[in-house]
Chains A and B, each alone.
Chain A
Amino acid sequence: MPAAPPFLHAPGPRIRRGAVLPAALLLAWAAAHSGLVNGHLLVPVEKVALVPFLDPQGIHLWPGLAASLARMAAGFTIGAAAGLLLGLSMGLSRTADRLFGPTLHAVRQIALYAWIPLLTAWFGNGEPAKVVFIALSAFFPMVLNTQEGLRTVPAAYREVARVLTLSRWQLLRRVLLPGAMPSIAIGVQLALIYAWLATVGAEYAMGLGRGVGTLLSEGREHFRMDIVIVGVLTLALVGFAINAAFGRIFARALRWRGPAR
Chain B
Amino acid sequence: MTTPGSLDLRAVGKTYAVDGRPLTVLQDIDLRIEPGEFLAIVGASGCGKSTLLRLIIGLDDGYDGDILLDGHRITGPGLERGIVFQEHRLFPWLTVEENVGIGLEATSVPAAEKRRAIREHIDLVGLSGFEKAYPYQLSGGMAQRAAIARGLVNRPEILLLDEPLGALDSLTRVHLQDELLRIWTQENVTMLLVTHDVEEAVYLADRVVVMEPRPGRIRRILPIDLPRPRNRAAPAFAAVKETIIQELRR
Does chain A touch chain B in the assembled complex, meaning CB atoms less than 8 Å apart? yes
Give the nearest-CB partner of A160 in chain B: B89
Across the interface, A256 reaches (CB within 8 A) one of B58, B89, B105, B134, namely B134
Interface 1/0 per residue, B81-124 and A, CB below 8 Å: 11101010101111000000011011000000000000000000
Assess whether B137 is interfacial by the CB under 8 Å rule.
Answer: yes
Task: For A170, give the chain B residue with the smallest CB separation.
Answer: B105
Whether a CB of chain B sits under 8 angstroms from the CB of A38 is no
Contact B87 A156 (CB under 8 A): yes
Which residues of B are in contact with A by a Cβ distance under 8 Å? 57-59, 77-79, 81-83, 85, 87, 89, 91-94, 102-103, 105-106, 134-137
| Most chain B beta carbons < 10 A, residue from A178, A179, A255, A256 | A256
Residue pair A163, B105 in contact (C-beta under 8 Å): no
Q: Enumerate chain B residues within 8 angstroms of A156, measured Cβ to Cβ.
A: 85, 87, 89
A sample of 7 inter-chain contacts (CB < 8 A) reads A157-B89, A159-B89, A160-B91, A163-B82, A167-B106, A175-B91, A178-B93
A residues 48-67 near B (Cβ < 8 Å) are none
**Is the C-beta of A181 less than 8 angstroms from some C-beta in chain B?**
yes
Q: Which residue of B lies closest to A179 (CB)?
A: B93
Nearest neighbor of A156 in chain B, beta-carbon distance: B89
Question: Would you call A166 an interface residue if the criterion is a C-beta within 8 Å of the partner chain's C-beta atoms?
Answer: yes
The answer to whether A164 touches B87 (Cβ under 8 A) is no
B92 and A257: CB pair below 8 A?
A: yes
Cross-chain contact A163 with B136 (CB below 8 angstroms): no
Given A162-B59, A163-B81, 13 other A-B residues pairs in contact with their CB atoms under 8 A: A156-B85, A156-B89, A162-B58, A164-B103, A164-B106, A165-B79, A167-B106, A170-B105, A179-B93, A255-B134, A256-B92, A256-B135, A256-B136
B137:A163 contact, CB within 8 angstroms: no
B106 touches A165 (CB 8 A): yes
Bound-state Cα–Cα, A255 to B132, Å: 13
Of B58, B81, B85, B92, most A-chain CB atoms within 10 Å? B92
User: CB-nearest residue of chain A relative to B95?
Assistant: A256
- Interface residue A258 (Cβ < 8 Å from any Cβ of B): yes
The closest CB in chain A to the CB of B78 belongs to: A165
> What residues on B are CB-neighbors of A166 within 8 Å?
102, 105-106
Q: A157 to B59, Cβ gap below 8 A?
A: no
Q: Does A174 sit within 8 A of B, measured CB to CB?
A: yes
Q: Output the least CB separation between A200 and chain B (Å).
A: 36
- CB-CB under 8 A from B106, the residues of chain A are 164-167, 170
Q: Kindly list chain A residues whose C-beta atoms are within 8 Å of the C-beta of B102.
A: 164, 166, 174
B155 to chain A: closest CB distance in Å?
13
B57 and A256 contact, CB distance less than 8 A: no
Residues 140-166 of chain A, each 1 if its beta carbon lies under 8 Å from chain B, else 0: 000000000000000011011011111
Interface, chain A (partner B; CB < 8 A): 156-157, 159-160, 162-167, 170, 174-175, 178-179, 181, 255-258, 260
In the complex, residue of chain B having the shortest beta-carbon distance to the beta carbon of A159: B59
Q: Which residues of B contact A255 (CB under 8 A)?
A: 134
Question: Which 4 pairs show the lowest CB-CB distances between chains A and B?
Answer: A258-B136, A178-B93, A165-B106, A256-B93
Interface centre among A164, A165, A178, A257 (most CB of B within 10 A): A164
CA distance A163 to B89 in the complex (A): 12
| Residues of chain A lying within 8 A (CB to CB) of residue B93 | 178-179, 181, 256
Chain B residues contacting A163 (CB-CB under 8 Å) are 57-59, 77, 81-83
B137 touching A258, Cβ below 8 Å: yes
Q: Note all chain B residues with C-beta closer than 8 A to A258.
A: 134, 136-137
Within 8 Å CB of B82, what residues of A?
Answer: 163
Please, how many angstroms separate the alpha-carbon atoms of A257 and B93 in the complex?
Answer: 7
> Measured between alpha carbons, how far is A257 from B135 in the docked complex, in Å?
9
Point out the residues of chain B lying under 8 angstroms from A181, CB to CB.
Answer: 93
Chain A residue with the shortest CB-CB distance to B79: A165
Cα separation A7 to B249 with both chains bound (whole Å): 50
Chain A nearest CB from B224 CB (Å) reads: 29
- Residues of A contacting B134 in the complex (Cβ-Cβ under 8 angstroms): 255-256, 258
Least distance between A8 CB and chain B CB atoms (Å): 26
Contacts of A160 in B (CB 8 A): 85, 89, 91
Residues in B with CB closer than 8 Å to A260 are: 136
Q: Which chain B positions have C-beta within 8 A of A162? A: 58-59, 77
Given A164-B102, A178-B93, answer yes or no on A257-B136 (Cβ-Cβ < 8 Å): yes
Name the B residues within 8 Å of A257 (CB-CB). 92, 136
